[in-house]
Amino acid sequence: MKLKIAIQKSGRLYDDSVALLKECGIRMNLGSNTLRVEASNFPCEVLFLRVADIPAYIEDGVADIGIIGENVHLEAQHDIEVADKLGFSKCRLSLAIPREHHYEGIRQFEGKKIATSYPNILAHFFAQHGVQADIHTISGSVEIAPSIGLADAVCDIVSTGSTLLSNGLKEVETVLRSEAIIVANKALSPEKKAIFEQLLFRIGAIKKAKNNKYILLNAPNDNLDKIVSALPGMKSPTILPLAQEGWSSVHSVVQEDDFWEIIEKLQAYGAQGILVVGIEKMIV
C-alpha cells in the first residue's frame, strides 16, 4: 500500500515541495522530465502534475494527497480536505490598476472590467464588499489586459510586484494571502490514512524546528531564578553547573517570534556567552 502524493511538476512550489519531502527523510530518484517516482524508504509515490489539476485528481482519488497553493484550492472549490498549512511559497492575490490612476478605495471597482485567473475568489471578495464588477476570466498574461484595452484593472498573484511594475500597474488591494497547503482526499482508506499521519508527524517536527531556536548561555547563580523564568523551554530549561563557582550553563528552546525580547531580558539578568543554534527537527 502506497500513499500517492501529487506535487507541481515545475516551478517554485515544486522546489519547495521536493525540499520538504527530503527534509521528511523521503528519498526519491528524481530524473529529468520525471512524472512519477516511488520513494525508496517510505510507502509513497510522487506524481508530478500541473498544479491547477491537482485538486480534481485528489477529489477523484487519482492522487491521495497533494501540495498546492491555498489560492488554487479556494479557486478550484473541490471537495477535498485541508490537512495543514506549510508556511512556504507565500504570495498574495491582489488587485492592481494602471500606475497613473489615482486610487480612492474598493468602491472604485464598481462597474469596472477586471481581468483575472481567479474569478471565484475575486467574486467572493467583491460580494463581501458590496461591489459589482465585470469579471473577465483569463488564463495567463493577465497583466497586459489594461494596456490592450481588455480591462480596467487586474487581479493576480503577486510575490515581489516586479511583474506589475513592468506592465505599468500598481498594487492597490490585497484580496487573499496564500501559502502552500497539504490537501487530502476525504475518503482515504485506514491504511493510507495511517501513512498520511506518519507524514504529517514528520512535517510537524520540521515546522516546529523552523519556528524555534536552541540557546545556550552562562548564567550567574544569583539571577538563575529570573533567567529560568524568562526561558520556559519545552518543559523547563536544562541547568548544569560550570567549573567556575557561582555560574551555571542553561540550555533551552525559544520561539522565533519571542527571540529578541527574551535575549534582551537574559542580558539584563547578567547572562553571558549566549549561543543560538538552529534546530533541524523538533519532536515534543
pLDDT at 218: 93
pLDDT at 139: 83
User: Sheet holding 247-255: strands in order across?
Assistant: 238-241, 247-255, 212-220, 272-278
Q: Does residue 223 have a pLDDT over 70?
A: yes
pLDDT at 63: 96
Q: What is the mean pLDDT of the chain?
A: 91
pLDDT at 163: 82
Q: What would the mean pLDDT of 110-127 be, rounded to a whole number?
A: 96
Q: Alpha carbon of 13 to those of 7, 68, 89, 152, 206: distances in Å? A: 8, 8, 6, 30, 17
Spatial distance between the Cα atoms of 254 and 130, rounded to a whole number of angstroms? 44
pLDDT at 85: 95
- 83's CB contacts (< 8 A; 6+ apart) are 65, 181, 182, 183, 184, 196, 200
Q: Does residue 233 have a pLDDT over 70?
A: no
The distance from CA 274 to its chain's CA centroid, rounded to whole angstroms, is: 30
pLDDT at 10: 85
pLDDT at 41: 93
What is the CATH superfamily name and number for domain 3-88+179-209? Periplasmic binding protein-like II (3.40.190.10)
- H or E segment and range at residue 22: helix 12-23
Residue spans of the domains in the chain: they are 3-88+179-209, 91-178, 212-278
Grid cell in block for residue 242: 560550570
Matching CATH number, 91-178, of 3.40.50.300, 3.20.140.10, 3.40.50.2300, 3.40.190.10: 3.40.190.10
212-278, CATH topology level: Alpha-Beta Plaits (3.30.70)
Q: Do domains 3-88+179-209 and 91-178 have the same CATH topology?
A: yes
Q: What would the mean pLDDT of 242-249 be, rounded to a whole number?
A: 91
- Model confidence pLDDT, tens digit, residues 148-163: 888 999 999 887 778 8
Return the percentage of the chain with pLDDT > 70, whole number: 98
